[in-house]
Amino acid sequence: MGYTSDTSLFGGILLQRINYGENSRQPFLSNGKIDISGSLKGDLAAGVTLDRTQTFQTDIRSTISFLLFRSKVSHYFGVGNNQIFSDDLYNEDFFFYEQRQINLKYRGRKTLTEFGIDGNLDLFSDLKVSYLDASQTDENSLFEETLSGIHSNGWVNKLGLGFIADDRDSEFNPTEGFRYEAGIGVSHSILGSDSNFSDVWLELRHYIEILPNVIIAHKARAEHIVGEAPFWALSTLGNEQGLRGYHLNRFRGDSSILNIVEARMWLFSFFEDEIRFGGQLFWDTGRVFSENDSNQFFGDWKQSYGFGTAISLLNPDFILRVDLGFSDEANRIYAGIGYSF
């Protein structure tokens, strides 16, 4: 049970099982998760994720996830970096719409060579099948004004390919190293999609321990979409993954860029580190680009900042996290399992 600003009070069941294998292989042999939850705002979600570092006794790492989701208070603020916002309109449900979606994703990874100190360079391929149905919740909403009569449901099926260079000392609680990912995904009618477009992305993560139990974590991500993507498949900012403190999916565009610096620290522990308490400070900055915006790269970047707490229970890989983000438009609370990156 918990509370976040975007979902209000929520409750559910989370079951996670990490199998490290007989030889204590890194990062694990398998990691399975089942998550079923609902909120007072009408959100319902059921998801299953399984990650195995060996698939059928091969060296191919497989991750498969399945999600069913319904939200009666999804956010649509328009497309662009400077779309209007006001608390009065927000409180009148002007920016809300309802959505129902189903997602199935598979990623296969194979190590090509060693990379860094103790890391690897992997080739990955993605297959994603998703369907979304969106509808207005109020006849006076922005969704109804701008998307009425426009195709607001359909399939987006994608094939993707890319590379991951990972030299972190831990996937769950990294204290040093880096992770780089670059990829391209293609949605096309021959895959059963209702929209033809492609997206390319680059994500860089760095971790360094500047003092005992004090880690600086950094993430930079850029994404660009080519073609006619539906509004729900555009690049978005404003969530627990970036620009924390803004309303959910506040910024939506054909391209986005994001930069996060986070200081993480473990403050004290009990029972020989079986239970640890810590905190984090963060600063997020970024923006989206669209045909409604200036293409000036360094202009009008959005800023947010905040702090949070973290608790590690019985296993250093199991971390409960709560963040409080501040922006010039709102304050938001986020709760989740594990660090945001």
**pLDDT tens digits along 51-103:** 999 998 899 999 999 999 999 989 999 999 999 999 999 999 999 999 999 99
The pLDDT of residue 27: 83
Q: Rounded distance, CA 75 to CA 249, Å?
A: 6
Using alpha carbons, select from 255, 256, 258, 252 the residue that is nearest to residue 232: 252
What is residue 24's predicted lDDT score, i.e. its pLDDT? 55
User: What CATH number is associated with residue 12?
Assistant: 2.40.160.50
Inform me whether the pLDDT recorded for 335 exceeds 80: yes
Lowest mean pLDDT among 41-55, 69-83, 145-159: 145-159
Give this prediction's pTM: 0.91
Identify the residue whose tokens are 């399939």.
Answer: 155
Overall average pLDDT of the 166-170 stretch: 94
Containing structural domain, residue 221: 2-337
How many structural domains are present in the chain? 1
Positive or negative: CA dihedral 182, 108, 261, 272: negative
On the CB side of 291, CA atoms within 13 Å amount to 5
Task: Express each pLDDT in 298-334 by its tens digit.
Answer: 778 999 999 999 999 888 888 999 999 999 999 999 9
User: Which of the pair, 278 or 140, is modelled with greater confidence?
Assistant: 278
